């Protein structure tokens, strides 16, 4: 059963936002983004579409240390505890490093871990990725340890807890304001006040690039092959963004044209092709190319699972199994629908009636009538006062299942 119309957002805002580019004349260039963000405040419930920033009870002391500029030697990591993985004692010559700053309360941070883990696996010993959590972002070691433990195999690189740095400043509760040594050396020294942020260090131990993890796809290949040039690579990035904007324009007017643009983009920018999974899936479904759509839908489902997005997962499944939908024969896509709906039910802990209704439909089409009826009854039982409008529809579906029809 549908809950919301679109599959989340077709492309993240980070995909089309201006990247944080280094300049060739490094010593004169701070490692800051080219487009400023809003002032740093952490919302009580950070929205996944926005970048939350630090929540501090008191304004941190002004930074008076040496600024960190692109081209400078990367500061050594000052770590109190390695929470996961092998410690990184120093930056070895001949290896590249990515230092990522994150926090347990940061909603956009956690979906980045599988992506960074894939990069670590791809480049193996040539690249070392380190995730750093810091008291400078109002975190605690127990929270970090619990968060890392809960993510299990989703993190395939070392996670470190920053070395706390007490200050003379007091919070509104009268407690000392605690900062982090590594956070100071990187984030504050480079004038970065948003997370997640990544610092790319080249094979000579120099800071090469600073930006959002979502922008790494634009730079990683040039970095790892020694071809990175802020001037030339930056121009290539802007060209890629222009191509992406054209795709987005075509999606609103002409799905066939959008598919052609997407295919051309995938050839030209293979690493970025996964970014287009959602719009490609939508366009293929609109064009009735279901076999191709179901194949792409596996990637879309992976993204939605990584982002813990039950509405997107439910939309994928319902578009396939909806008896009044455009897919006349859902059988080729039934495994995809089952996978998406099952994940959505797990994320919502079996408490969303619309999503339970979708999973029940999947089981019905699979031929498992008892399980379909069981789930449909559970869907009805979970209806809240605000969802009473669903009751009649779900009850009618249950009667149809019990009667052997629908």
For the stretch 144-194, pLDDT in tens is 999 999 988 889 999 999 999 888 777 777 777 888 999 999 999 999 989
Neighbours of 31 (CB within 10 A): 28
Question: How far are the Cα atoms of 10, 204, 263 from residue 200, in angstroms, in the given order?
Answer: 28, 11, 30
**18-27, 179-188, 210-219 — which one is most confidently predicted on average?**
179-188
In a domain, 365, yes or no: no
Helix (H) or strand (E) holding 117: helix 112-123
363-387: per-residue pLDDT in tens?
999 999 999 999 999 999 999 988 8
Burial class of residue 384 (count of CB atoms within 10 Å of its CB; 0-12, 13-18, 19+)? exposed
In a domain, 277, yes or no: no
| Helix axis angle, 369-381 to 391-402, nearest 10° | 160
Q: Which of 312, 306, 345, 271 is nearest to 154 (CA)?
A: 306
The closest alpha carbon to 328, from 319, 336, 337, 341, belongs to 319
The residue range of the domain holding 212 is 25-226
The answer to whether position 171 is within a domain reads yes
Q: pLDDT tens digit string along 136-145?
A: 888 999 999 9
| Confidence band of 269 (pLDDT split at 50, 70, 90) | confident
Residue 137 domain flag:
yes
Tell me the pLDDT band of 59, cut-offs 50, 70 and 90: low
Give a yes or no: residue 191 inside a domain. Answer: yes
Name the CA radius of gyration of the chain, rounded. 24
**pLDDT recorded at residue 47:** 35
Nearest to 248 by CA among 220, 222, 279: 279
Q: Model confidence over 291-316: pLDDT tens digits?
A: 999 999 999 999 899 888 999 999 99
pLDDT at 31 over 90: no
User: What is the rounded average pLDDT for all residues in the chain?
Assistant: 83
Q: Per the structure, how many domains does the chain have?
A: 1
Question: At 220, which CATH number?
Answer: 3.40.30.10
- Structure token digits, residue 104: 């347990």
- 86 assigned to some structural domain: yes
Q: Is a pLDDT exceeding 80 seen at residue 111?
A: yes
Is 301 part of any domain? no
> What are the angstrom distances between the C-alpha of 382 and each of 98, 352, 357, 378, 387?
45, 7, 11, 6, 9
**8 A C-beta contact, residue 206 and residue 73:** yes
């Amino acid at each position: 059963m549908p809950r919301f119309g679109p599959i989340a957002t077709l492309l993240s805002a980070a995909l089309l936002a201006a990247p944080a580019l280094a300049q060739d004349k490094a010593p004169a260039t701070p490692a800051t983004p080219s487009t400023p963000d809003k002032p740093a405040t952490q919302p009580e419930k950070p929205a996944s579409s926005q970048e939350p920033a630090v929540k501090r009870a008191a304004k941190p002391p002004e930074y008076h240390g040496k600024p960190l500029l692109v081209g400078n030697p990367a500061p050594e990591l000052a770590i109190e505890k390695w929470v996961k993985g092998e410690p990184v004692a120093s930056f070895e010559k001949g290896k590249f490093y990515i230092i990522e700053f994150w926090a347990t309360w940061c909603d956009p941070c956690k979906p980045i871990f599988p992506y960074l883990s894939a990069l670590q696996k791809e480049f193996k010993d040539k690249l070392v990725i380190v995730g750093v959590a810091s008291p400078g972002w109002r975190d605690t070691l127990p929270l970090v340890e619990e968060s890392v433990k809960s993510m299990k195999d989703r993190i395939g690189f070392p996670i470190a807890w920053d070395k706390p740095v007490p200050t003379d400043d007091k919070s509104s509760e009268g407690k000392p304001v605690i900062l982090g040594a590594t956070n100071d050396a990187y984030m504050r020294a480079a004038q970065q006040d948003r997370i997640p942020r990544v610092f790319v260090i080249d094979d000579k131990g120099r800071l090469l690039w600073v930006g959002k993890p979502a922008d790494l796809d634009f730079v990683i290949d040039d970095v790892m092959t020694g071809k990175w040039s802020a001037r030339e690579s930056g121009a290539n990035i802007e060209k890629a963004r222009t191509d992406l904007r054209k795709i987005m324009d075509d999606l609103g007017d002409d799905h066939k044209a959008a598919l052609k643009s997407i295919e051309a983009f995938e050839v030209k920018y293979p690493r970025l092709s996964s970014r287009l999974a959602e719009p490609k899936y939508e366009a293929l479904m609109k064009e009735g190319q279901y076999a191709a759509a179901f194949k792409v839908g596996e990637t879309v489902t992976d993204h939605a699972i990584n982002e813990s997005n039950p509405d997107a997962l439910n939309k994928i499944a319902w578009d396939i199994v909806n008896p009044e939908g455009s897919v006349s024969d859902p059988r080729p896509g039934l495994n995809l629908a089952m996978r998406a709906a099952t994940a959505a039910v797990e994320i919502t802990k079996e408490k969303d009636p619309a999503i339970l209704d979708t999973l029940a439909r999947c089981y019905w089409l699979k031929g498992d009538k008892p399980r379909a009826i069981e789930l449909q009854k559970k869907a009805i039982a979970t209806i809240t006062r605000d969802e009473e409008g669903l009751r009649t529809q779900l009850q009618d579906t249950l009667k149809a299942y019990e009667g052997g029809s629908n």
